[in-house]
Amino acid sequence: MSGLFKRKPAPTRAEAVANLLSMLLFYLSKIDAWTLRDAVEGTLILGATGSGKSSGSGRALALTMLKAGFGGLVLTAKADERAVWTEYCREANRHDDLVVFGPADVHRFNFLDHELNRTGTGAGLTENIVNLFSTVLEVAERNSTSGGGREDEGYWKRANRQLCRNVVDLLALATGRITIPDLYRLVVSAPSSREQIRSEEWKAGSFCFHCLGEADKRTKTPRQQSDFEIVADYFMLEYPALSDKTRSVIVSTFTSMVDVLNRGLLRELFCTETNLTPEAVTDGRIILIDLPVKEYAEVGQFAQVLWKYSFQRSIERRNVADKPRPVFMWADEAQHFVTSYDMQFQTTCRAAWVATVLLSQNYSNFVAALGGGEKGRAETDSLLANLNTKILHANGDPVTNEWAAGLIGRTRQFFANGNTTHSGDDRWSAVLGLDWLGHNGSTSAGFSESFEFEVQPREFTRLRTGGPANGWCVDAIVFQNGRVFKQSGRSWLPVTFWQKR
């Protein structure tokens, strides 16, 4: 048979999965599509309060991804978001996929034990568990810090992480599971002196000594045996030899960190059993964390960050060829939930088919949330640069508008100018309107060129914000790096979203 008529080989599973990235999700204009590839490259939505960002572009994107079958994680800041997403899921015929995690619901998630006992070759690694523990506590530390720092701050952080490694290893070796209450019990019962180690009374009442005994008796692999020897040396030699002041600072740092998880609602939700894990999103579940920040304050913020980080680590491990369902991570009022890990996640999450959608009022919210100063700006720029679709609504913040105008860039623009002068003798002709009769004046004209903002910052203050006064129309300017929109011929596109009446 002629090569012209040969049947093309069927695409491999990997090729078929890759082809899905071109799947149309919706149209930004009559001829400009927004695809799955665009979605998984991340989306940032900025707009002032009342600009229509949530009810306009936010609603459009949420319904689009739900109707396309995405799984997802929804972080909540406002008390009405559960009702909003319940309506979204109902409208998209996904109500049965909505799973609510909150005080009034039955779901629980022991995040440390999940990391220890999950499937996968990287499960149970101590450093991963310590990083998980440290990252989810970052927000609590950020909220309590007063700025500045000490010259020896690096030592205390290293010493605290050393303590974390040893208590995690000891609990895993002794009991096969990790909980916050047990971590706390182990630290406060550790020996404070070499004399105490010889005390029968201490041995009888110390949870730390009990764990050392259990770990010693258990059958261990060579690697576990080596780890146990390090743990035993730490608690029986190094830890009690520390000065009382040094040890008290390390212990106080640790116990103050875990305190927020060791009591009340967070202990109930995150330190007991596990019947819901982040992996559920790959089966199409929409996990909504119903602990809105405006209602639960720092407790709600802490819970959301914990879920977000666990979701990020979990979803990055999946093989898209085996489980190709796209998923999203949705955060309105996103400044409440950002951590330093988000920058790393956004650089690689496209390969895991994760559509990150962050909504906030302005650029400065992220800078402030990430610590302010040059560090906060650098981390903000890194994070936002990796959200390739930017939907910019009406805004009165000059910093954000300048940033958005700079993002779109400058072009060479030409300006006309002219000038007319009159001689002193011709003043009465000018007064009488007869200057056109005289020849004593001079006229000049010319052109100049300059690189100016293609979209001036003031334009963002003039976009429509929806509601009955604007016919329920919400205006935005959509920008994508590396793309020229067919409708506008530029890297930016004016788009109008319609609110639901």
Q: How far out from the chain centre does Cα 221 lie?
A: 38
> How crowded is residue 473: how many other Cβ atoms within 10 Å of its Cβ?
17
Are 66 and 88 within 8 A, CB to CB? yes
Helix (H) or strand (E) holding 386: none
Q: What is the pLDDT of residue 152?
A: 56
DSSP state of 54: I
Q: Which two tokens stand for residue 480?
A: 């994508």
The answer on pLDDT for 449 being more than 80 is: no
Alpha helices in 218-335 (DSSP H): 222-233, 239-241, 244-259, 264-270, 293-316
User: What is the share, in percent, of the chain residues with pLDDT greater than 70?
Assistant: 84
Average pLDDT of the chain, as a whole number: 87
Max mean pLDDT range (7-11, 122-126, 269-273): 269-273
pLDDT band at 298 (very low <50, low <70, confident <90, very high): confident
**In the prediction, which pLDDT does 157 show?**
82
| 174 within 8 A of 215, measured Cβ to Cβ | yes
How far apart CA 68 and CA 24 sit, in angstroms, is 9
Q: pLDDT of 20-39, one tens digit each?
A: 888 999 999 999 999 999 99
Backbone phi, psi, residue 428, to 5°: -70, -30
pLDDT(410) > 80: no
Amino acid at residue number 109: F
Dihedral angle sign, alpha carbons of residues 391, 86, 72, 304: positive
Q: Strands 24-27, 33-35: parallel, antiparallel or unpaired by DSSP?
A: antiparallel
Q: Is 449 left (phi over 0), alpha (psi -120 to 50) or beta?
A: beta
Q: Where are the domains of the chain?
A: 23-107+280-421+451-501, 111-267
Q: What confidence tens digit (pLDDT) does each residue in 28-75 have?
A: 999 999 999 999 999 999 999 999 999 999 999 999 999 999 999 999
- Looking at residue 425, its pLDDT comes to 54
Confidence class for position 436, pLDDT limits 50, 70, 90: very low
Say if residue 3's pLDDT is above 80. Answer: no
CB 156 within 8 A of CB 237: no
Q: What is the pLDDT of residue 107?
A: 95
Q: State the pLDDT at residue 80.
A: 94
This prediction has a pTM of 0.84
Listed in sequence order, the DSSP H helices in 340-480 are 341-348, 363-369, 373-385, 398-408, 427-431
- Which pLDDT belongs to residue 12? 62
For the chain, what is the largest distance between any 2 Cα atoms, rounded to a whole number of angstroms? 117
Residue 330: pLDDT above 90? yes
Q: Which CATH superfamily is domain 23-107+280-421+451-501 in?
A: P-loop containing nucleotide triphosphate hydrolases (3.40.50.300)
User: What is the Cα gyration radius of the chain?
Assistant: 30
Question: What pLDDT is attached to residue 116?
Answer: 84
The answer on pLDDT for 423 being more than 60 is no
pLDDT at 112: 87
Indicate the pLDDT class of residue 146, thresholds 50, 70 and 90: very low
Encoded tokens for 435? 């200057």
Phi, psi (rounded to 5 degrees) for 439: -125, 20
Q: Rounded to whole angstroms, how far apart are CA atoms 357 and 348?
A: 15
CB 136 within 8 A of CB 305: yes
Return the structure tokens found at 347: 């650089």
Q: Which long-range contacts (CB under 8 A, 24 or more apart) does 183-189 make?
A: 183/258, 184/255, 184/258, 184/262, 186/211, 187/163, 187/251, 187/254, 187/255, 188/251, 188/255
Residue 9's pLDDT is what? 60
| pLDDT for 445 beyond 80 | no
Would you give the DSSP letter of residue 283?
G
Is pLDDT at 7 greater than 70 in this prediction? no
Q: Which residues pair with 35 in a beta bridge?
A: 24
Q: How confident is the model at residue 488 (pLDDT cuts 50, 70, 90)?
A: very high
Range 317-333 average pLDDT: 92
Q: Find out whether 336 and 291 touch, Cβ atoms under 8 Å.
A: no
pLDDT digits (tens, 9 = 90+) for 348-400: 899 999 999 999 999 999 999 988 899 999 999 999 999 999 999 999 999 99
For the stretch 189-205, pLDDT in tens is 999 998 999 999 999 99
Q: Would you place residue 499 in the very low, low, confident or very high pLDDT band (cuts 50, 70, 90)?
A: very high
